[in-house]
Amino acid sequence: MRGRAMADRDAGDSRDAFVASEEVRAEGDAERSAHSRRRLVIGIVAVAVLAVLGGGAAVVVPALAQPPVQQGTQRVHTATDVVSRGDIAERVRTGGKLGYGNSRALGSTLPGTVTSVPAVGTVIGRGEELLRIDDQPVVLLLGALPAWRGFAAEMSNGRDVRQLEENLRDLGFFQREPDEEFTWWTAEAIRNWQTARGLPRTGELSLGSFVFGPAAVRVRSVDAGPGSPSGGAVLTVTDTGKQITIELDADLASVAAKDSKVQASLPDGTIIDATVTSVGAAIEKEGENGEKTMKVPLVLTPDDPAAGGDVVDVTVSATFTRTLATGVLRVPVLALLAGPDGTTQVEVVDGKRSRLVTITTGTFGDGLVEVAKVVDGKLAEGDEVVVAQ
């Protein structure tokens, strides 16, 4: 009887120990489950905030919740990341087109027949031949004032005369200070230039035998080949430098200030560094689905004129970056936890243990968030924090 009583007492103690163990385990599971639920909730909220504050840039978020092990139970897979100090940036990615800009048509007012045109891709500079009408050359001269009359003795003074003399000077044929008066010196410079080109020495230039343009041009297409009548557009030309044109959503225009730096990716993966050289006024555009949106036209100039080699008229992906905060303590957005009473926390790993630190957040950007203030606990650069995967 005594042995049986002792056995019953030992069995009772074992049951009590088992129950106590199960209660502790249940409490631990409940705590981890609570952390998981809080991490899931604030992870979703943080990503939503990031999408808004990040200027609409695409944000790819890994799955935060896995299929439930039991009905009503959610699990979040986690990893760790490091608390760092640095900048918070806003990034916007959008598409654009790499090509030669400022396309325009060129021709000649000379009557006759087009007898010669350059090949597509030809670059034509000051004093060089654009095309021929009745086998007479039409040359390019540089200047902002369009051609509106020919040049001959006893013509009236004008800014176009100065512009002609500046070209003759830069070509090495006019040795005096350019002015607005057509003199013997002007005519002599024309004659010497004509001689150098194998043309009759008339000392005059008829309207249509030259074209004034702001800079050298590149032939984009031939619109009227040899045998075509003159008088219309013969060539389509562009500037000689490549540029990237983009139509950016107006609500994202804050990332694209003039002179800001941009990286553009070609279809083959080549990265081009470029600078925003022009920001236009917002204009209304109609999308593929008929919906109208406001777009801001941008022009980007590659920092290296040879960037991309012969690649032209291709779609590129451009990344705009704007620094929102500098030198701040920051944590990954997916490290944020929903704390009690609406507070925000992060879970810091200390060896095999972890602790919760309450913080207030500042600027969001590019998957990171600024730690504006540590409210409760300690958090420093280099600490490891738990993040949702």
- Give DSSP secondary structure letters for 359-384: EEEEEEETTEEEEEEEEES---TT-E
Helix (H, G, I), strand (E, B) or coil at 271: strand
Residue 78 confidence (pLDDT): 84
Length of the chain: 389
Cα separation, 260 vs 137, whole angstroms? 43
Residue spans in the chain of domains classed CATH 1.10.101.10: 104-238
Residue 312 confidence (pLDDT): 87
Residue spans in the chain of domains classed CATH 2.40.420.20: 2-89+325-388
Query: What's the DSSP call for residue 117?
Result: -
Residue 50 confidence (pLDDT): 38
Summarised one tens digit per residue, pLDDT across range 152-185 is 999 999 999 999 999 999 999 999 999 999 999 9
Question: Per CATH, which fold does 104-238 belong to?
Answer: Muramoyl-pentapeptide Carboxypeptidase; domain 1 (1.10.101)
Residue 136 confidence (pLDDT): 95
What's the one-letter identity of residue 219?
V
Cα separation, 164 vs 324, whole angstroms? 51
* Residues 6 or more apart whose Cβ sits within 8 Å of residue 58: 93
- What the block records as the tokens of 176 is 């005096």
Residue 74 confidence (pLDDT): 52
Given a cut of 70, the residues of the chain with pLDDT beneath it are 1-76
* Residues 6 or more apart whose Cβ sits within 8 Å of residue 341: none
Residue 42 confidence (pLDDT): 53
Whole-model pTM above 0.75? no
Residue 22 confidence (pLDDT): 40
Architecture (CATH level 2) of domain 2-89+325-388: Beta Barrel (2.40)
Listed residue (15, 35, 11, 34) closest to 23, CA to CA: 15
- What the block records as the tokens of 10 is 């030992």
Listed residue (97, 96, 101, 94) closest to 242, CA to CA: 101
